[in-house]
């Protein structure tokens, strides 16, 4: 079985994590033959308080998480202290060494940049943090107009709701465009903003 892990931490932006969760968990539940399982992990396991007060239960701690094929690092205010948290940055670097595909949503890419994962790569983040991304590592080719950027073994998504688009793209990359369309239809994702 292939495992996709979504990182949780205090002050994670809810939709950064839950949007991709919905896409990926719907896929895994309805097409188990594709061979993917989705779980959430946090440093110590247990409950995490998100940015706007939602509490989410992690399935695993970092120490007992299964071997991952994909890791998704969301953003939110909780990423700011992570930029100087050597333990967290070291953990991210260790994941990079063993996880084939690293993905981020919103300011999760700032953590990847601080850990050195985006050096010499193209990437994106929330529009309000584009300058911060560039300042963390001037070798990053910041792509402000992209909803998500696929640089092979690292995919970064722009802000908040862009994580849903990136997760659908991930399904297409891992299981084909037809499957991604089936998932999109299943979750009735067809953005038509009212304003």
Question: What are the tens digits of pLDDT across the range 166-195?
Answer: 999 999 999 999 999 999 999 999 988 888
Residues pairing with 72 in the sheet? 6, 103
Number of domains in the chain: 1
Q: Which residues are known catalytic residues?
A: 106
Q: Does the residue 188 lie in any domain?
A: no
| Residue 194 within a domain | no
The partner residues of 142 in beta bridges, in order of sequence, read 123
Q: How confident is the model at residue 159, as a pLDDT?
A: 95
Half-sphere exposure of 3 (CA within 13 A, CB side): 14
Task: State the pLDDT at residue 195.
Answer: 84
Tokens of 47: 């409950």
In 44-161, alpha helices (H): 79-82, 86-98, 108-114, 130-136
What's the CA gap between 26 and 113, in Å, rounded? 30
| Whole-number pLDDT of residue 193 | 83
Instruction: Enter the DSSP assignment of 8.
Output: -
161 burial (CB, 10 Å; 0-12 / 13-18 / 19+) is middle
Answer yes or no: is 190 within a domain.
no
The residue ranges of the chain whose pLDDT is under 70 are none
- pLDDT value of residue 158: 98
In a domain, 192, yes or no: no
Say if 189 falls within a structural domain: no
CA 81 – CA 102 distance, rounded (Å) = 20
SS3 assignment, position 154: strand
- DSSP string over 10-68: TT--HHHHHHHHHHHHHHHHH-GGG-EEEEEEESS-EEEE-TTS-EEEESEETTTPPPP
- How much is the pTM? 0.96
Within-domain flag for 64: yes
Residue 193 lies in a domain: no
Q: What pLDDT shows up at residue 192?
A: 83
**Residues of the chain with pLDDT > 90: what percent?**
97
Domain coverage including residue 71: 2-183
Residue 191 lies in a domain: no
- Return the CATH number at 33: 3.40.50.880
CA–CA dist 143, 130 (Å, integer): 8
Please count the helices (runs of H) and the strands (runs of E) in the chain.
7, 11
């Amino acid at each position: 079985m292939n495992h996709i892990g979504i990182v949780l931490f205090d002050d994670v932006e809810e939709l950064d994590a839950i949007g991709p969760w919905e896409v990926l968990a719907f896929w895994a539940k309805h097409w188990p033959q594709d061979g993917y399982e989705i779980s959430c992990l946090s440093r110590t396991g247990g409950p995490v308080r998100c940015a706007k007060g939602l509490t989410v239960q992690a399935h695993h701690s970092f120490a007992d998480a299964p071997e991952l094929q994909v890791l998704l690092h969301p953003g939110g205010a909780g990423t700011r202290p992570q930029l100087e948290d050597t333990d967290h940055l070291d953990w991210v670097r260790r994941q990079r060494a063993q996880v084939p595909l690293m993905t981020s949503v919103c300011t999760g890419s700032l953590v990847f940049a601080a850990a050195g994962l985006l050096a010499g790569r193209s990437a994106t983040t929330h529009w309000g943090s584009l300058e911060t991304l560039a300042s963390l590592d001037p070798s990053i080719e910041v792509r402000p107009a992209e909803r998500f950027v696929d640089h092979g073994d690292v995919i970064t998504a722009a802000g908040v709701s862009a994580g849903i688009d990136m997760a659908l793209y991930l399904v297409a990359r891992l299981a084909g465009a037809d499957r991604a369309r089936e998932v999109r239809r299943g979750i009735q994702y067809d953005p038509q903003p009212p304003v």
